[in-house]
Structure 1
Amino acid sequence: MSRTTDGSHSERPGEGSRKEAGKEADKETGKAQADTRRGTGAEGAGKDPEQGIGRDALADCDRTARELIAEVGLLVSYGLQQGDLPDELDIARLHGIKAKLDDCDAKPLTSAEFAAIVADYKRLTRRYPEVSPRTLAATQPDAHGRMRKNETAEYLRCLWYWTLGLVLFAVSTNVAMHAVEVNLPHPGQGFGYDDAVYDLWYQALRYIEPFLYGALGAFAYVLRVTAEKLFKREFDPTRIGEHVNRIVLGTLAGGSIILFITQIPNEDTSTVQLSAAALGFLSGYSVDFLFNTLDRIINAVLPRVSLSSSKRSVQRTRDEDLIKECRSLLETASDEESRARLKLMIEALEAR
């Protein structure tokens, strides 16, 4: 620092910047020391200053405990509705643990409390093996007793809309087929271009009809199963893909069944003649109906080649080769004893 002509002091070039740099360094050092004391510095980041436990680990444990206590609460509510709670369950203890988790100022859960939650969860899942917290949450109605905004409600609405659309399409198809039949010319009348178009539409609708009713039967089956699962609170949204696959399979079965059968036998040896639409609906509702039909056709048409018959065929081929070898040896044998033994062996192989 130098003195000016008017008596004031002025800083030398670079001295001010060095002072500012020194002040910033002192601030960073003080902040690092304070963070270290609080356990939030570079070395103590995410750790508890007293126990040395990572704060992220504590947060994960609390999050897991909250999720677990929520699932236990769903199972307890289900048990209360069924009137079948395990005797070993301590609801007061669970309520205290939940209150402790809801209190932000409370200490973290102890190992014993966390183990108690896990034990109660296992006890409840063993008591109610048909349901799970996921199925209970998916079938939980709102305050008005309805399911409107969850995934289950969206799936149900989708099923209803598709079923209603298929019903309307089936009705429209039947009306269109009837209209085409009315407009087709009678035998002996002329068959013009319009009549050919009408006949083409009629044939197309006739081939579409069994697939359509197969899909309708599949939707009826899925709606029935879904209603049962909802009533028992066993509906799992993660298995919606299985329902979709069942609908596709029912649609294919409805269109394929007419390739194999046109009538169903009764117990009194009589037969019931069914339309293509009826057979399609039955196959879509019960896919096993198609598979059982295919098994009967395969057993009737294709030869039955079992594993035992295959083994017998291989053994017979070996015996024939041994018989040929023994006969060739019999022709070259000189002594009577060897010839007698070879003859006995050939007789035994031929008799087997």
Structure 2
Amino acid sequence: MEVTTKKAERAEAETKEEQRILSSNAWHLARYVIEHDYEIIIPEEINIGQFLCWSEDYPKLKPEEKISFINQYALLEKITKSVTARTLVATRIHGRGFFHAVFCTSVGKYLLFLSTITLIFVCLLIVNLTNLLEINKIIIPFCAAGLGTCVFLLRVTQERLTTREFDPAFIPSQLIRLGLGVLAGGTIVLFPGLLRSGESVLGTGNGIGIELGSLAFVLGYAVDIFYALLDNIGGRIKDKNK
């Protein structure tokens, strides 16, 4: 009996939390629409003032009001396109200081991680450029590709934060892109025929030429284009075999 009661209480608490999140997200979305009414055409069936009131009292609404509220909520997310309630919540200004923004928000933690990885790649490049060990031939291309990927991700994140389109749900996919950029850029440069002797990254000694280091950086930065070309080639080969 006690177990059943605890499960019911837990389910009720989860429902209330979901309602609170929905209410908060709707409020942020409505506020964004009001602030950008000169850019967004609000449909006549949406009363934005009423919608704001509903977002504040959502759990207490009547069943028919809840249905109208959910329908209007879905319609608002359609007209705001890439800007959703989730992106607005993730990119809002908390007003609690720098350390809270960096260490207590998903966006801040992601940027901290990305900045740290970027600095690590820079440090590894500097260390390997100042040493003439044979292993540097392998490490340098992957570091250059990783640096290029990090620069791309930082640029994309900065753009999406400015337009309030950054969605924390896509952080895992961006981390996958980081891995793909490092692997693609480094591996292509180390392919047989691309490894040169009698030339180093700085132009002397033995190792990888500066142009190949730059190629690894560019491949890491624009790895999406590289994979799109591969998919295009693979698609054409598949069509010919049919």
Please report the TM-score for the alignment, with normalisation by the length of structure 1. 0.52
Q: 1:157 to 1:65 in 2, by over 3 A?
A: closer
Kindly indicate whether structure 1 or structure 2 has the higher relative contact order, using CA contacts under 8 Å at least 6 residues apart.
Answer: 2
Q: 2:151 is matched with which residue?
A: 220
1:284 aligns to 2:220 (yes or no): yes
Match of 1:306 in 2: 240
1:91-106 matches, cutoff 5 A = 91-98=48-55, 100=57
Which position in structure 2 is the counterpart of 1:120? 72
SS in structure 2 opposite 1:142? coil
- Per-residue deviation, residues 294-341 of structure 1 (Å, max 9, x unmatched): 79999xxxx999347xxxxxxxxxxxxxxxxxxxxxxxxxxxxxxxxx
Q: Match for 1:156 among 76, 95, 111?
A: 111
What 5-or-longer segments of structure 2 have no aligned partner? 195-208
Residues 60-71 of structure 1 mapped to structure 2, 5 A cutoff: 65-71=19-25
Unaligned 5+ segments in structure 1 are 1-44, 46-53, 103-107, 178-200, 263-272, 309-352
Note if 1:88 corresponds to 2:22: no
Is the CA contact (8 Å cut-off) linking 1:72 and 1:120 kept in structure 2? no
Are the counterparts in 2 of residues 211 and 254 from structure 1 also a CA contact under 8 Å?
Answer: yes
Q: How many residues align structurally?
A: 214
Question: Quick one: which amino acid aligns to residue 215 of structure 2?
Answer: L
Distance between the aligned counterparts of 1:56 and 1:157, measured in 2?
34
For 1:129, what is the secondary structure of its paired residue?
Answer: coil
Three-state SS of the structure 2 residue aligned to 1:275 is: helix
**Aligned CA-pair RMSD:** 3.8
Task: Give the TM-score of the pair, scaled to structure 2.
Answer: 0.72
Tell whether 2:6 aligns with 1:75: no
CA distance in 2, matches of 1:61, 1:207: 53
Identical columns (%): 28
CA drift at 1:206? 1.9
Whole-Å Cα distance in 2 between the matches of residues 305 and 114 of structure 1?
Answer: 50
Match of 1:255, SS state, is helix
Larger radius of gyration: 1
- What amino acid does structure 2 have at the position aligned with 1:215? G
d(CA) in 2 for partners of 1:97, 1:250: 46
Which residue of 126, 130, 153 corresponds with 1:175? 130
Shift in Å at residue 231 of structure 1?
A: 1.5
For 1:179-237, what per-residue CA distance to the aligned partner results, in whole angstroms no more than 9, with x for missing partners? Answer: xxxxxxxxxxxxxxxxxxxxxx2x21122111111111111111121112212211111
Q: Deviations over 1:11-42 (max 9, x none)?
A: xxxxxxxxxxxxxxxxxxxxxxxxxxxxxxxx
